[in-house]
Chains A and B, each alone.
Chain A
């Protein structure tokens, strides 16, 4: 693609995002993405003309709200290739999805002699629920370590899993290193041992086609807000037979059939896991985001993100004081560049970059054990979305080059 073609494409995409402006390079997309007009309009259309409490009213408006909500569920099902909408549970975000499994599944399935296997790459939200589950059930939590580039091989995995392993929890793409785990292989091995496989898709579902049936994972959690949707809507995919056997997570309205003074019978899937009034506006926004992503297409999304990653990495290589965590291969980063600058604390990096209107994340990225394992406590992270541009990558690089001087070196 020529530079002028690329610029035309940049402009075409960026006109859909009201918040993006030439003034600021927003490069914190792994934390949350900006929202296209189409999503914002879908949400306001819902509240302007379809809003009522879904799933309970008998009047037209409530039926309309229910329809919109359930259509969003179908859109999510198709997006991740689940077998049925019963397997799609709306939550607040990936964290809540993982906690749902962390409470409901583990309560009846883990015993003191069992093991939970997770990796050192996990975000705290795919770590703390299992730490807590281990404490509650007496099961042992085991960590699978990666190499310095974030890679976990099939051999590593086979060495770590044992007949006692009942649950394996693993991120699809690391939010720090950007590396993809081969979930299909790991899920197959986990199933050989009779273990249930939980995948954290927060960093993968927004950036690549994900097919839950092909991967054959038992659960997949992801957040809407990292994929162009409003905040407060997320998804838990779970295989029907497993969800059916699980106890509810939250109790209250909308998740019951009959309630007596002594007890209740619970609603069918997926409503059993959606207690209380749901976030229909958020679901409608997620539906619009999926349509938007489909209209751009993952081919183009991946081409643009990979191009920017390679483009930036090539230039960053020339700056001796800047070091990128993980692989040297841009293809192994999925738009995520976590870096350090010799002698400059990450929070100072982010603050000085803010002075240059380049938005990057600094800190531990909710992955303290991983950073400790890699020998650093804190890093800065630039993460690209398909709507970012070469000019923005240049601004990142230009700012990086000035940091040491500005710190008085």
Chain B
């Protein structure tokens, strides 16, 4: 009926996120805020021996911010930090409209957000989770729990 950006993949991740819950054994957590949209999430990661063993997020926000964070966790849980950072770099480049088809495939479902590159007002929503994750990796001391 409507020519819509709101695909089923997106609405599904928004309405039924796999990773939106508390994570009691997280050893890193960081809040990410997008003041223009009012998106506000707390990303929680369990990292052991340089590997993202588990991850989750809590908070509120628009469908794009919530779905994107959920897709990101689908992708990075179980991967080494370096790998997660590399995928995040690809995702952020996708949002700027500059990736190859092979790279997009690596992003799995998160590749569904490619059209955000034509929606400048929503870029901040889409990258919120990814930026928050990058920030944890860049300055782990700031995000360290306990």
Which residues of chain A have a CB within 8 Å of any CB of chain B?
A: 344-348, 351-352, 355-356, 363-364, 377-378, 402, 406-409
Contact = CB atoms under 8 A, between A and B. Distances in A.
B12 to A, nearest CB: 6
Contacts of A364: 38
Contacts of A345: 37, 61-63
Contact of B2 (A347, A348, A356, A363): A356
A322 B15 CA distance: 18
Contacts of B4: 352, 355, 406
Given A352-B4, A352-B6, A363-B37, A347 B64 contact: yes
Interface string B46-63: 000000000000001111
Q: How many B residues are at the interface, by size bracket?
A: 20 to 34
B119 A378 contact: no
Given A345-B62, A347-B62, A348-B62, A377 B14 contact: no
Contacts of B64: 347-348
Contact of A408 (B8, B38, B121): B8
12 contacts: A345-B62, A346-B38, A347-B62, A347-B64, A347-B125, A348-B6, A348-B62, A348-B64, A377-B60, A406-B2, A406-B4, A408-B6
Contact of A377 (B8, B38, B121): B38
Nearest to A379: B38
Nearest to B1: A402
B12 A408 contact: yes
B36 interface: yes
Interface string B5-48: 11010011011000000000000000000001110000000000
B6 A406 contact: yes
A220 to B, nearest CB: 30
Contacts of B15: 407-409
A288 B62 CA distance: 41
Given A347-B122, A363-B37, A402 B2 contact: yes
B33 to A, nearest CB: 11
B3 interface: yes
A376 B63 CA distance: 17
A408 B8 CA distance: 7
Contact of A378 (B1, B2, B3, B37): B37
Contacts of B125: 347
Nearest to A364: B38
A356 to B, nearest CB: 7
A179 to B, nearest CB: 23
Nearest to B6: A406
Contacts of A356: 2
A363 B38 contact: yes
A407 B5 CA distance: 11
A407 B62 contact: no
Contacts of B11: 406-408
Contacts of B38: 346, 363-364, 377-378
A364 to B, nearest CB: 6
A364 B40 CA distance: 14
Contacts of B5: 351, 355
A160 B4 CA distance: 49
A365 to B, nearest CB: 11
Contacts of A352: 2, 4, 6
A407 B122 contact: no
Of B1, B36, B37, B60, most A-chain CB atoms within 10 Å: B37
Of A344, A347, A355, A406, most B-chain CB atoms within 10 Å: A347
Contacts of B62: 345-348
Given A355-B5, A408-B8, A408-B15, 17 more contacts: A345-B63, A347-B122, A347-B125, A348-B62, A348-B64, A351-B6, A352-B2, A352-B4, A355-B3, A355-B4, A356-B2, A363-B36, A377-B60, A402-B1, A406-B11, A408-B11, A408-B14
